[in-house]
Amino acid sequence: MTQLTTIQIPGFRGDVITPEHHDYDGARTVWNGIVDRRPRVIARCQGTADVAAAVRFARDCDLEITVRGGGHNVAGTAVCDDGIVIDLSAMRAVSVDLVEHTALVQGGALWGDVDHETQAHGLATTGGIVSHTGVGGLSLGGGIGWLMRKHGLTIDNLVEAEVVTATGDIVRASADDHPDLFWALRGGGGNFGVVSSFRFALHPLGPTVMAGPIFWAAENTTGVLRFYRDFVADAPDELMTVVRLGTVPPLPVIGDELHFRPAIAVASCYAGPVADGERALRPLRQYGAPLVDLVGPTLYVDHQSGIDDTVPHGWHYYWKGTNLAALSDAVIDIVAEHAYGATSPRSYAAIFHMGGAVARAPRGATAYPERNVDHNMSIDAVWLPEQDDTVASAETAWARAFFDALEPHRAGVYVNFLDFDDDTTRIREAYGDANYQRLAEVKAEYDPDNVFRNNKNIQPATPAR
The residues binding ligand FAD (CB under 6 A) are 31, 66-74, 77-78, 88, 107, 128-130, 133-134, 136-138, 140-141, 143-145, 189-190, 194-195, 311, 416, 454-455
Minimum distance of ligand FAD from residue 315's CB (angstroms): 10
What distance in Å separates the CA atoms of residue 382 and residue 438, rounded to the nearest whole number?
Answer: 36
Task: Please report how close the Cβ of residue 73 comes to ligand FAD at its closest, in angstroms.
Answer: 3
- Dihedral over Cα of 191, 197, 202, 208: its sign: positive
Distance, in Å, from the CA atom of 315 to the CA atom of 72, rounded to the nearest integer, reads 12
Which residue, 72 or 203, is less far from ligand FAD as judged by CB? 72
Q: How far is the CB of 389 from ligand FAD (least distance, A)?
A: 22
For residue 326, the minimal CB distance to ligand FAD (Å) is: 21
Compare residues 293 and 308 and give the one whose CB is closer to ligand FAD: 308
Q: Which is nearer to ligand FAD, 298 or 376 (CB)?
A: 376
Nearer to ligand FAD, 402 or 452 (CB): 452
Residue (129 or 336) nearer to ligand FAD, CB: 129
Tell me, rounded to whole angstroms, the distance of Cα 357 from its chain centroid: 18
Nearest approach, Cβ of residue 107 and ligand FAD (Å): 3
Comparison of 68 and 338: residue with beta carbon closer to ligand FAD: 68
- CB nearer to ligand FAD: give 215 or 368: 368
Q: Whole-number minimum distance, CB 373 to ligand FAD, in Å?
A: 14
Q: How far is the CB of 57 from ligand FAD (least distance, A)?
A: 17
One-letter amino acid for residue 140 of the chain = L
Number of alpha carbons in the 13 Å side-chain half-sphere of residue 54? 32
Rounded Cα distance between 281 and 236, Å, is 10
Q: Are strands 84-87 and 65-68 parallel, antiparallel or unpaired?
A: parallel
Of 70 and 290, nearer to ligand FAD (C-beta) is 70
Exposure class string for 45-79: b at 16+ Cβ within 10 A, else e: bebbbbbbbbbbbbbebebbbbbbbbbbbbbbbbb
**CB nearer to ligand FAD: pick between 86 and 334:** 86
Do 146 and 269 form a contact (C-beta atoms < 8 A)? yes
d(CA 333, CA 9): 57
User: Alpha helices, DSSP H only, in 61-160?
Assistant: 111-119, 135-141, 148-151
> CB atoms < 10 A from the CB of 384, how many?
12
User: Would you call the peptide bond into 19 cis, given omega within 30 degrees of 0 as the criterion?
Assistant: no
CB of 23 to ligand FAD, least distance (A): 17
420 phi and psi, to 5 degrees? Answer: -80, -155
Say what the alpha-carbon torsion angle 255, 258, 263, 265 is, to the nearest 10 degrees: 0
Shortest Cβ 320–ligand FAD spacing (Å): 14
